[in-house]
Amino acid sequence: MKLLVSDPLSEEGLKILTASGIPVDVRPGLSEDELCKIIGEYDGLIIRSGTTVTKKVLDAGKKLRVVGRAGVGVDNVDVPYATQKGILVMNTPSANIISAAEHSLAMIMSLARMIPWAHASVHKGEWKRSKFTGIELYGKTLGIIGVGRVGGEIAKRAKSFNMTMIGYDPYLPADVAESLCVKLTTLEDVLKNSDIMTIHTPLLPETKNMISMPQFKMMRKNALIVNVARGGIVNEDDLYEALKNKVIAGAAFDVFVDEPLKEGCKLLELDNLVTTPHLGASTVEAQEKVSVDIAENVIMYLRDNMISNAINAPRGQLDPTLAPYLPLGERLGICIHQLNGMRPVDKIEVVFSGELAQKNTKMVTLSVLIGVLKNIVGDSVNMINVESIAKSKNIKVTESKNEDSPVYSNMVTVRVTSGKDAISVRGTVFAQVPRLIGIDNYCFEIPMDTDMLFARYHDKPGVIGSVGKILGENNINIGQMTVGRDTGTKMAIMLMGVDHEVPAALIKKISDATGFNETKYIDLVE
């Protein structure tokens, strides 16, 4: 058994690797071809951001069992292909929480006291004290968008400044927020009533461009906004206009859509924007902790077969007949989450009917949870951590079995409860393809191998043709279609498998033209 470290690692991390008794080679700066020539000798590979683990590298790693990324992001690893090859990919998601929180506070303080501009002025030989009159944090309202691990650490520290804290996080239990002295409210309320806002959400389809010009116009004229989370949550073109035209007073950003910022980037023209080059995790302590954590986790896996912080599903003893039900479970979870909307989830019930009732279906239930939670917490959710994430959000999870399945030999039913409301979806597998076979009391059948357009409406002639015409006029092809009807209520639902994304403006156009009660684009397949 051998380990390769292909990027710089802290001394403490290297000591842990050496002490394990597993031979370790440290060879930073390898090209892809150089790495491919030697990777076949190693059982484990530890990297940072410098090494790119491509399909070519993974194919060359004939003995490779694990890739450990010292850090959070795994954009430099072909995770789907590693999973296909049975290679575990792990990272260190919690090592930089404190550093990211402290950097956010540093950005807030820099803005409030105008430190970067005052510093630059002094270094020009100026002494213009009145030009750099700042504001106190005492008594100000801090809006936290995403009151998770980092947002929670900020709340603990902001409390010492005697700030009033409000937060937006549709998935956080109110009692958890209350323990942090954060009053949960709507995004609009946070935007309208905060003196300072700090962002701590993952970048997801529903959070991309979450803050754009309409949101900037809701903010106070003297508002400040800080982003040490992910580039793309704030629309950068609208940020530029909002700062340039003094819609808001100032901003501090550590992350951007395209990094590094290119010479001539218009954001760098602004005199009310603080920028740093993605330094949220750049502290001595965080860098050492990621090295120590990944060293310990890789050793535990190679030596003891214990898995921690896995990005992809672990290799395990799975009944081969259940393998097709893992993608079914995840897609049912994705589907029901998007149909449920942004409402907090209180309970997830998974029922296995037919022959599945005789099997160990734990992995399928975890796949359902991954589907529900991946658009809440981001792609870091996996087979290893999904249960603890659900527990931390006070989501009750139940699994039950029912040997009766009158229509299909096997069926998986997922029911999500949010407050007084509940929604259920049903699915099965045949011809190795996951299929959606029902929503609530509607029955139908459609393959779950493409994104979908969902609509609920009063059953009447001509609806399907109207929708097809609008999609066709916008060059969106329909690959599959099904309809389910409720004869008691005279309501129907329609699902269309589409080859391209249906944008929000087009969904509104379809709803306006047809009078649909509910229309949604379901982003089902990556």
Residues taking part in catalysis: 230, 259, 278
Q: H-helix or E-strand containing 515?
A: none
**Scanning the structure block, which residue is given the tokens 């929708």?**
467
**Scanning the structure block, which residue is given the tokens 């704030």?**
234
**Scanning the structure block, which residue is given the tokens 């009310």?**
272
Rg (CA), the chain: 25
Are 452 and 523 spatial neighbours (Cβ–Cβ below 8 Å)? Answer: no
Adjacency order of strands within the sheet including 478-486:
478-486, 491-498, 451-458, 518-522
Q: What one-character DSSP code corresponds to residue 60?
A: H
- What number of residues does the chain have? 526
Q: Would strands 250-253 and 273-275 be described as parallel, antiparallel, or unpaired? A: parallel
Question: Structure tokens of 208?
Answer: 């991309």
Q: H-helix or E-strand containing 422?
A: strand 421-430
Question: Structure tokens of 275?
Answer: 């920028």
Classify residue 55 as left (phi > 0), alpha (psi -120 to 50) or beta.
alpha
- Secondary structure of 351-403 in HEC code, one letter for each residue: EEEEHHHHCCCHHHHHHHHHHHHHHHHCCCCCCCCHHHHHHHCCCEEEEEEEC
Distances (CA, A) of 41 to 61, 64, 90: 7, 8, 20
User: Among 383, 253, 254, which Cα is nearest to 312's?
Assistant: 383
